[in-house]
Chains A and B, each alone.
Chain A
């Protein structure tokens, strides 16, 4: 039980970093804000939920900015350059 949770949490960092790389790459290609949908590669609820969570982690880490104009509206992702 505990092992599973730990495994998942250890993996988080890896997944988060990978997602960050993707965001940066997309941004470098278009130099425009990225929509949340662009980051979903498998439309299962679990993947959507995870991706959303990782984006929140990245935002918390100060690596990206999440922009939303209205509740439940389109979510835009912009990497932050230091």
Chain B
């Protein structure tokens, strides 16, 4: 494998204008140095010389910035140049040299130049050479500073594509692409053949139908003849049979008629006898039922109803008697209680009257006593009453005054309290108002700002809306155009395929083969070179051209010779050539009628002679009439319908099948199609752009509307707040005013009330004095005693009077009860008793009478019933006899009628038989003569059902009529077309098989590709898991395909589980873990397929010493197969390297010192041994 021997830099980044050589060697080389000294610039130089294009990857803004910019002591470089020396002893590069040097130089304007082994070359050549040795400026083997995690960060698909590249499956993709193209070609061929098949099939179907019709027609004709003959024979036999049976029947009928006539006569006689007996019975019956029975029945019913009436009367009378008796007992009882009550009332009245007298006497006595006492009191003190009244009045006044005083005082207290309250409230309200005023100001400002925001949003919405509408209109228009264009494209496509198919048919194979020979100077057939201006003349021009259509126009006779030789050599057939240098034009004999063919066609003027040779002498006329006008034989003519009139007088005509050699122009259709498709593409891209804009605008509109509703809501809230504050302020103001008013009022009232109070105090004092005086005056003991007595007596009187009035009212009640109620009631009761007794007696008498009546009536009823039974029996026997006779007569009459009917029918039948027999005989005669025209031998069997046969004949005739006219030629034509169809079919099968084999091939490639990929992936995945376990002892990691079924439709995932941790998503790992995972991935690939060299820039930055040691060991081991260049700051890494390149910077210019650690160790070992010897150890 090739490896980097050294790197030469001149004017590159910090390395100054002098040439700097960085020596590398096989194995493990570390590049070390302080930060900023230029370590990583060596990595950049490698990237640069390998043809890297990204300035950013080389940590510069522009490629030109890679040129050394100069320092105080050194001028800037004119260009940057890096050369890389590869060892090519094993010919890893496809160049037969032991050393391959690639060099790249960049100028300040960014221009690059490349050299390969000293020769100027291009970047792509360099890249080709490098890629042959599996080196690329953006290969996975170059890991730049901070870039180690790129394998973690890249998408699973990008990661899978690394495996794709390593497995080299691109080769299969290339093969597949070619196969796909072949497949497309095969499918196109198939489509073409399908089209032909379709056309031939339509023709075949039509012919098939016609052929079948013709065959059917012949078949039917034959069958019809047989059927007709059979029918005739059958009918003759039938008629003969019919005549024989009719004669037999006629005889039968005659004998039957005779028999019936005899029977009829017998029946008529019997009927006559029976009718006589019947009239006798009827007369007797009439006599018996006239009197007798009716009279008796009437009487019986009369007697029965009389008995019923009497029974009902008796029952009624008994019920009445019982009722009256019950009533009588009740009335008697009541009379007794009423009499007793009257007695009791009368004695009570006596008692109460006595008591009343006694009470009146007592009352008089007491009144007298009271009057005496009053007189005595009046004498004792005349003034007492007056004084007493006055005292009462004074006391009442006093009490009122005191009450008023108390009331006023409490009123004052209340008012004072209210004043305090109002004052406190007012001061509170004033402070609240100050606060409100500030708030209102703030709100006003906020409302204004919201309003302006809202109007701004509105205008934005309007603008966006207008734009959306405009876009919609545009879209609609473009859509409409697109809709119009799509069917056009479809139509053109179909036309194109048809035209191509037609073109293929019309091609002359010899001509095509000749064209492929590419002989210069062959211009093509006349048919190809001529274009008819107007389709009306197409047929005419085609006929006029005739066999000249395939004539080949060539530059000169030499070309013609060459072409002829070619045809001869390849046995390709014969062609007529028209050399332009020799061919002579033909001219038209002057005539004024018709149109010269030359005038209706277009052609390149240089072919004029050739064209004229073919059709220059030919005239187009409308029809044969016009041709005759011009004169047949005078000039060559062709009619619009294709009749050709030669000058010789020969006329060629008939049905002309267009050869369509002229009209086929696929190029034009194809161009039109392409133009349409381009237009369609443009329209579609316009639609896409418009839709994109529309979506954007709609999103914007939606956001604006959301914002608007938010702002309006805010505004509404603010306005509501404002209103609330204003209302509150107004309320507060009113309250304060009202409070002040109230204060004034209260103070006034307090003042007034205090005046009133003072007045009241004086009045109370006065009244108290007066009361005391009056009390003294009223204090007299004798008067008090008298008063007491008078009150007692009056009390007694009123008690007595009360009792008196009670007694009087009781007396009155008793009186009313006796006189107005009890006495009249007693009289009524006595009267009722008398009435009831009379009633009972009357009913008893009625019962006796009725019972007697019933007895006599029942006797009479019995007599009558006996008489009735006798009459009834007699009548019944007569009626029975009558019925029997009537029935017998009617039966006989019916029988007679029946026999007459039968007779009638038989006579009719006899007549019709005779008529029919005559008909049958006539028919028989007719059919027999008809049968003479047919061949009776064809009749094999005569069917039972001749009607069915007749129907069949009718059907056949009907079908024959429907089939006509019949194309008998179709039978032969069908076979010809069918052969063509089968040929095409087999061609199609061949093409299909070809297509299938291509598909199979593609599948084969796919599966090979997949196998190769899976082998590569499995090997790398195995390496990866092993290496990860090595780098992170105890940890586990796997490469997992996103889609196992179809690896190429998904990416490649890394699943890692660092030691002692749960499974982590790789994004969630620490920097060190990520670096280890990525390194495992890089080494997994290296183990499978090592790249020539690896560049690692500070991959160990995030690792601890133990991990650095593991990585370093891995590099050391891997460096047996590949060259490793590792930029590092870690001593653990350095000490594992074979060579160390030290970088330091002096006065802004980087310098390089190299150290071979192997050599150093050997040297030191030797020195130590020497020292040991010197010391005598």
Contact = CB atoms under 8 A, between A and B. Distances in A.
A72 B1135 contact: no
Contacts of B23: 71-72
17 contacts: A37-B1164, A43-B1164, A45-B1136, A48-B1155, A49-B1140, A52-B1134, A53-B32, A53-B1129, A56-B33, A56-B34, A60-B33, A60-B1145, A66-B1142, A66-B1153, A68-B1154, A72-B1155, A75-B1153
A59 interface: yes
B443 interface: no
Contacts of A45: 1135-1136, 1157, 1161
A24 interface: no
A49 B1131 contact: yes
Given A37-B1167, A56-B32, A66-B1153, A48 B21 contact: no
Interface string B25-40: 0000000111011000
A29 B1161 CA distance: 27
Nearest to B1140: A52
Contact of A37 (B1072, B1137, B1145, B1163): B1163
Interface string A53-80: 1011101101001101001100100000
B1143 interface: yes
B1165 interface: yes
Contacts of B32: 49, 52-53, 56
B1072 A75 contact: no
A40 interface: yes
B13 interface: no
Interface of B: 6, 21, 23, 32-34, 36-37, 1072, 1103-1105, 1129, 1131-1132, 1134-1137, 1139-1140, 1142-1146, 1151, 1153-1157, 1159-1161, 1163-1165, 1167-1168
Contact of B1144 (A46, A48, A60): A60
B1110 to A, nearest CB: 14
Nearest to A72: B1156
Contacts of A8: 1131
Contacts of A46: 1131-1132, 1135
Given A5-B1104, A55-B1142, A56-B37, A75 B1155 contact: yes
A1 interface: yes
B727 to A, nearest CB: 67
Tell me whether chain A's interface is mostly helix, strand or loop, or mixed.
Answer: helix
Contacts of A57: 34
B1160 A48 contact: yes
A36 to B, nearest CB: 8
A62 B6 CA distance: 27
A52 B472 CA distance: 74
Contacts of B6: 71
Given A8-B1131, A49-B1157, A56-B1144, 19 more contacts: A1-B1072, A4-B1104, A37-B1167, A45-B1136, A45-B1161, A46-B1135, A48-B1155, A49-B1137, A52-B1134, A53-B1129, A56-B32, A56-B34, A56-B37, A56-B1142, A57-B34, A59-B1144, A62-B1146, A71-B6, A72-B1154
A71 B1156 CA distance: 9
Contacts of A75: 1153, 1155
Given A46-B1135, A71-B1154, A56 B1160 contact: no
B1153 A60 contact: no
A56 B1143 contact: yes
A72 B1159 contact: yes
Interface in A13-66: 36-37, 40, 43-46, 48-50, 52-53, 55-57, 59-60, 62, 65-66
B716 to A, nearest CB: 57
Nearest to A61: B34
B1102 to A, nearest CB: 8
Tell me whether chain B's interface is mostly helix, strand or loop, or mixed.
Answer: mixed
Contact of B1165 (A1, A4, A43): A43
Task: State the 3 A-B residue pairs at the shortest beta-carbon distance, nearest first.
Answer: A43-B1164, A71-B23, A59-B1144
B1153 A68 contact: yes
A68 B1152 CA distance: 9
Contacts of A59: 1144, 1146, 1151
Question: Which of B1132, B1143, B1155, B1163 is the most central at the interface, judged by chain A CB atoms within 10 Å of its CB?
Answer: B1155
B1133 to A, nearest CB: 9
Contact of A52 (B1155, B1161, B1164, B1168): B1155
Contacts of A72: 23, 1139, 1154-1156, 1159
Nearest to A62: B1146
Contacts of A52: 32, 1134, 1140, 1142, 1155
Contacts of A56: 32-34, 37, 1142-1144, 1153
B376 to A, nearest CB: 137
B85 to A, nearest CB: 12
A45 B32 CA distance: 15
Contacts of A40: 1160, 1164
Nearest to A73: B1154
Contacts of B1159: 72
Contacts of B1165: 43
Nearest to A50: B1131
A80 B1084 CA distance: 48
A62 B1151 CA distance: 13
Contacts of A60: 33-34, 36-37, 1144-1146
A65 B1083 CA distance: 39
A55 B34 CA distance: 10
A37 B1166 CA distance: 12
Contacts of B1134: 49-50, 52-53
A45 to B, nearest CB: 4
A65 B1160 CA distance: 20
Question: Which of A1, A4, A36, A75 is the most central at the interface, judged by chain B CB atoms within 10 Å of its CB?
Answer: A1
Contacts of B1153: 56, 66, 68, 75
B1104 A1 contact: yes
Nearest to A16: B34
A57 B1154 CA distance: 15
A59 B1156 CA distance: 19
A79 to B, nearest CB: 14
A65 B1151 CA distance: 11
A48 B1135 contact: yes
